[in-house]
Structure 1
Amino acid sequence: MYVPTPTQRASQPTTGPWWLLIGPGFAALIGLFLLTVIYRFDGESPLQIDLGISSQSLLLNGVVAYVVAAALAFPAGLLLGGRFPTSVTVPALVFMLLGVVLVAFMPSSGLLLVGRVLNGLGAGAVLGVTVALIRRLQAGRGVAAGVMAGLGVLALVIAPVLGGLLSDATGFRVVFIVAALFVFVALVVAGILGIVALAKPKPLPYAGPSVSETPQRH
């Protein structure tokens, strides 16, 4: 009698643990928050007033530069983030941190463009990493995408409100100092989770059927 050979297990797509999404996902939400926090719904931006710049200058240096930089960095995060999430997320967060700190402590409007470009590069990269990790999830992909999309829209909408309230009380620079603290927290979290992922034992590769599983005829 012929005993058929067990079919070889189908190769699974390479994917990391789901919790690697926490670091870049949190950073992506911060990046979306920082995109619109320089505006407010009920009047002129405190940043615009304090720096003495026009609405056109705020739009170009504060928003357009941010979006363009993010669009340039997003493909890199999307292509590399699935396989090397920590290696992409950590440098991106460093760029974000430098950009936020630069805006917080800039002496004049001349450095606004530089700070927003650095911030946009980091935000675009971590957003790409977040999308890449969600696409590689084997379960709960739709839920994760929906939650991140909802939180992202919320961050965009709520940023001018919170930023305006905090700016009225303390000045716009404090808004970016607080944002820098959150970026630093995201950096620490991403680094720790990356170290944990590297230390986690890797599954052994499939070595094929054993001798007892080879076809036999009786």
Structure 2
Amino acid sequence: MTTPLPGTAKQLSADGLRPDARPVWLVIGPALAASVGAFLLAVTVGPALTAIQRALGLPASAKLWIFVAYLLPAVLAVLAGTLVGRRWPTAVTLSAITLLVLGTLLTAFAPGSGSLLLGRAVTGFGAGLAWGTTAVLVAQMGARRVWVAPLVGGVVGLALCLGPVAGTLLAQTANWRLPFVLVVPVEMVALLATAVSGIVVLIRRASPPAQPPTAPSAMKPS
């Protein structure tokens, strides 16, 4: 009878990691999507919001609704992203980015208040899904979340700070729609990164796991 070597009792996942620790590169796409969501939340703060109101001929009360139309669906979607993204992070993130792209385009080319609020709501829901899934993935990084969490949080926080600055500058120098148009390529990069990482995970799962080494059996006396 053979005896397993010390340390081989712990089963490894198809990624070569413990089941409770996902690969770090899996969080790249979701973190980028979460950053875009934070940027789009803040881009309508300040003078940019006034520019939208004036360009579309909206009442003063529309400023509040433009912000709430984004934030409320985002808060509700965080819970869904946390629950569903725990098991299917790639599928949830791809859905989130699709909503981000659709909502961003609706907002960028909105002819009036109805389409604008719809675009903001769709974008907010996609952002909430990305935030929830990213938080779950960071929590599943195992011991590496000590440095992954601050890194992801810093990127999302930076995007949140850049939103008002970019919105104000572009609204005053060009057009309020420009920030939403320019962010679409970034969303496509997040979509590509998420899709590639998901394909890699599927390939690793399909590959047979490496067999742990076994101790040589004792020689039988002749």
Q: Does 1:157 align with 2:165?
A: no
Q: CA RMSD in A?
A: 2.7
In the TM superposition, residue 83 of structure 1 has moved relative to its aligned partner by 2.6
CA offset digits 1:55-81 (Å, max 9, x no partner): 421212x21121111111112211222
Alignment of 1:163-178 (within 5 A): 163-178=167-182
**Counterpart code for 2:58:** I
The answer as to 2:42 corresponding to 1:29 is no
Cα offset for 1:18? 1.2
Deviation digits for residues 1-50 of structure 1 (CA, Å, limit 9, x no counterpart): xx98767624533443210100010010010010010122x686321221
| Structure 2 residue matching 1:21: 3-state secondary structure | helix
What percentage of aligned pairs have identical amino acids? 37
| Cα gap change, 1:5 to 1:210, in 2 (>3 Å) | closer
Residue 54 of structure 1 corresponds to which residue in structure 2? 59
Distance of aligned partners of 1:97 and 1:43 in 2 relative to their CA distance in 1, 3 Å threshold: closer
- Is the Cα–Cα contact under 8 Å of residues 15 and 83 in structure 1 kept in the other structure? no
SS in 1 for 2:143: coil
Give the structure 1 partner of residue 15 of structure 2.
Answer: none
Paired residue type of 2:9:
R
Match of 1:137 in 2: 141
- Count the aligned residue pairs: 209
| Counterpart residue identity of residue 195, structure 1 | I
TM-score by length of 2: 0.83
Deviation at 1:99, TM superposition (A): 0.4
Paired residues of 1:99 and 1:118 also in contact (CA < 8 A)? yes
User: Alignment partner for residue 18 of structure 1, among 10, 14, 24?
Assistant: 24
Task: Report the CA distance between 1:151 and its aligned residue.
Answer: 2.4
**Cα distance in 2, alignment partners of residues 4 and 26 from structure 1:** 46
Offset at residue 94 of structure 1 (A): 0.6
Seen in structure 2, the aligned counterparts of structure 1 residues 4 and 100 have a Cα distance that, compared at 3 Å, is closer
**How far apart, CA to CA, are the structure 1 residues paired with 2:49 and 2:79?**
34
Deviates more, 1:140-149 or 1:102-111: 140-149
Partner of 2:189: 185
Work out which of the residue numbers 99, 104, 117 in structure 1 matches 2:103. 99
| Alignment partners' CA distance in 1, 2:217 and 2:121 | 62
Poorly superposed stretches of 4+, deviation over 4 Å:
3-8, 209-213
Structure 2 unmatched runs, 5+: 12-17
Alignment deviations for residues 114-156 of structure 1 (CA, whole Å, 9 cap, x no partner): 1111001110001111111100002320211112222222222
1:45 to 43, 46, 50: 50
Give the aligned residue type for 1:27: A
- The answer to which of 14-23 and 24-33 deviates more is 14-23
**In structure 1, the residue corresponding to 2:199 is in which secondary structure?**
helix
- The structural deviation recorded for 1:206 is 7.7
Unmatched 5+ stretches in structure 1: 214-218
Write the distance in 2 (CA, Å) between the matches of 1:58 and 1:205: 58
